[in-house]
Structure 1
Amino acid sequence: MWGYLSLLPICLAFSAIAGIWTVFSLAVVNKAVNLTDGFPYISVCGNSPPQSCIFSQVLNLGSHPWTHALPPTAWICILRYYQLREWGVRKWPNQVILWTGLLCALGTSIVGNFQEKNQRPTHLTGAFLAFFVGILYFWLQLFLSWRMKNLPQPGAPWIGPLRLVLCSACFILEVAMVVLHAWSMRSVSAICEWVVAMLLFILFGLLAVDFSRLDGCTLCLQPGSGSLRPPPDSPTSLHVQL
């Protein structure tokens, strides 16, 4: 099964991109948005049913850690955490990276469930987590790979520079998106938002290169530190090779 694990980020990226553009298409067909008035924000496309239902479902499937229908962002971040730990990354920087990834996943879920026209402050909070904390997740990993020269660098030599270009473009477009929105250039700002979303999905998909180095996992079960103790004949730990 581990040979297919590298496909999880690719499936996440592909399904999210396909789902978002399906929402856009439905919004145009249902006349929920009018392209003659300007290019719409992603959130505007997902404001009204039935496309709002698909919008919520797509983002929930990609972010919620207990969903099994699609490879969720949260599980990818957790797998990446354990992979970096096995590579010798210290606990505190690894946990910072993990929590930024989980906050990005949480923000994605908030964006999908709290539509902009119904809960604007909550929606914008989720958007901040999804976009700005999301790109921070990848910047931290780039910085880590630059500081720790002994970290494995899977894939072709151009993967690292490609990530740097994507992260830089994503950050510049995020700043431009905010500035253009403040200047009431909403259509251009919306285009920046769409490009940023696609770049973030591509960055998550590129984690497939790193996961291609995974060949197994060991699950270790140990008794807790509380008053409950296992029976005398029970093992204190169980190692299961998956």
Structure 2
Amino acid sequence: MPERLHKWLPVTIAIYLPVSFIITYSIAVANGNVAAGFPYISDTGTTPPESCVFGQLMNIGAVLDGVIIYIRYRQIQHFYEEPQCPKGMKRLNTTAYVIGILTVIGVSVVGNFQETNVRVVHLLGASLAFVVGFVYFLLQTVISFKVKGLKISGNTDNLRRLRVLLIVLDIIFLLLVGIFAVLVKMKAAGQNMPSRKWSTNNPGYSEHLVTTISEWLVAFVSVIYFSTFYTEFKHFSWRPPKVEYDNTTDTTLNAINVSTLT
């Protein structure tokens, strides 16, 4: 990876994931597998062939997210030895890193375990992606404020305010998803609820619409949060790992072969 290419990763993921959702949504609507409007994101990737496309796109997105999370971890790690570094930063940064990895695992699980095939695993993945993802963003916001005294280029007051706003919006939309999903079940209790093709004639349609729109907003807030790392990443250099060839083993084997022949 070129030294400065990593700074574009947060912007890339902010474009890549929404485009991925739009692609699978378009395929699902075109094939008549979901109703046009605001289905659940997972509904657009449940039925073949869009499920195959959805799974692959989510896997790529999870990898990109994972790289961003790792770079952010190493970036904060760089300041551990600074005298101004707050106490407990190592533990906080490591915790955020582990939680971030759980989040990207959730993204991959959502893409590969469709709700109609393995619902329990799919819901677990969604919880990791969205709920645990919120915890990751919360911890990163805390880190942003804690390292304020380190004068990290790009970690401005406006950036910290933006991150606070994003996590507030994230938790609001998450709560709306949970609350209105319950209201949908209560309102449509005892009646056949449509699997993926909702219409205005279905009981609980309004509540369902609030739930699905909130889910889409959670996804968009998440990718916007990842894009905020751009301002800090652009002030750091990221060099590829150095790979060296160790011929010690070959020399030893050659010596053994020579002694065997003699």
Q: TM-score range by the shorter chain?
A: 0.7 to 0.9
What SS class does the counterpart of residue 150 from structure 1 fall into? helix
1:147: Cα distance to partner? 3.0
Question: What does the per-residue CA deviation read over 1:208-236, in whole Å, with 9 as the maximum and x for residues that have no partner?
Answer: 11211112448589xxxxxxxx78xxxxx
What SS class does the counterpart of residue 213 from structure 1 fall into? coil
Structure 2 match to 1:129: 128
Structure 2 match to 1:140: 139
Query: Matched residues in 1 for 2:238 and 2:70: separation?
Result: 15
Contact 1:60-1:112 at 8 Å conserved across structures:
yes
Question: What does the per-residue CA deviation read over 1:57-78, in whole Å, with 9 as the maximum and x for residues that have no partner?
Answer: 11100114xxxxxxx1111111
Contact 1:9-1:76 at 8 Å conserved across structures:
yes
1:161: Cα distance to partner? 1.1
Structure 2 match to 1:2: 3
What SS class does the counterpart of residue 235 from structure 2 fall into? coil
Q: Cα distance 1:208–1:30, how it changes in 2: closer, same or farther (>3 A)?
A: same
Contact 1:39-1:188 at 8 Å conserved across structures:
no
1:134: Cα distance to partner? 0.8
Question: What does the per-residue CA deviation read over 1:105-126, in whole Å, with 9 as the maximum and x for residues that have no partner?
Answer: 0000000000000010000000
Structure 1 match to 2:255: none
Query: Matched residues in 2 for 1:33 and 1:217: separation?
Result: 45
Q: What TM-score do you get using the length of structure 1 for normalisation?
A: 0.82
Structure 2 match to 1:116: 115
1:87: Cα distance to partner? 2.2
Kindly indicate which of the two structures has a greater share of residues assigned to helix.
2
Structure 2 match to 1:23: 24
Count how many residue pairs are aligned between Structure 1 and Structure 2. 216
Query: Matched residues in 2 for 1:209 and 1:63: separation?
Result: 21
Matched, 1:195 2:236: no
Query: Matched residues in 1 for 2:38 and 2:130: separation?
Result: 19
* Structure 2, unaligned runs of 5 or more: 185-206, 250-262
Percent of counterpart pairs with the same letter? 33
Query: Matched residues in 2 for 1:73 and 1:216: separation?
Result: 16
Query: Matched residues in 1 for 2:240 and 2:27: separation?
Result: 44
Matched, 1:159 2:159: yes
Matched, 1:204 2:226: yes
Query: Matched residues in 2 for 1:28 and 1:115: separation?
Result: 17
1:42: Cα distance to partner? 0.5
Q: Cα distance 1:216–1:60, how it changes in 2: closer, same or farther (>3 A)?
A: closer
Q: Relative contact order: is structure 1 or structure 2 higher (C-alpha 8 Å, sep ≥ 6)?
A: 2
Query: Matched residues in 1 for 2:48 and 2:35: separation?
Result: 16
RMSD: 2.2
1:52: Cα distance to partner? 1.0
